Structure 1
Amino acid sequence: MRPVDLQVVIPKVTEVSKNQQVLKDAGEAGQSIMASQFQEQLRVMKQKVNLPPKAERLQVTPDRRENREREKDKNREKSRNGRHVDLKI
């Protein structure tokens, strides 16, 4: 480089370095903000109760099937008898 070029370049170096530092700081600030938002999302997701869809929660077990059949039988008996009164003496 020629000495004349250096006279022009050296004052510009400080200007450019300031601009580069501002860009670097802005990038770090953006990353910091995104990290804090991500941490907040994780916290909220940990506290939230995730229920499976209703179809996945329903399970027909033999006990339930028997209970349903008993209830159906009781309902049939009540409808056949008309009115039913239990008395305890």
Structure 2
Amino acid sequence: MKDCSISNEQMEEVYKTIGQNVKRVRTSKNISQLALSLAIGHKSVGTIAVAEIYHKNKHFNIEHLVKIANVLEVDICEFFKDIK
């Protein structure tokens, strides 16, 4: 059986890549962080802003990603592109 352990550093890279991909898709559709935040049910831009850059270990969870994919009208897989 293959060992599936992953280091904290590897997870940080995953979270950073997801944040970058969310930002890439969001900006390509000319949607602001605030507009996206409001569309997924948040009252401020904070969650989107910090998760896009993985600031202070803040990252998107699965619920966020599902909602964001729906709002941006993309397959959720788009956020996982180029994860090594």
TM-score norm. by structure 2 comes to 0.28
Query: Which has the bigger relative contact order, CA under 8 A and spacing at least 6?
Result: 2
Larger radius of gyration: 1
Structure with a larger share of its residues in helix: 1
TM-score norm. by structure 1 comes to 0.27
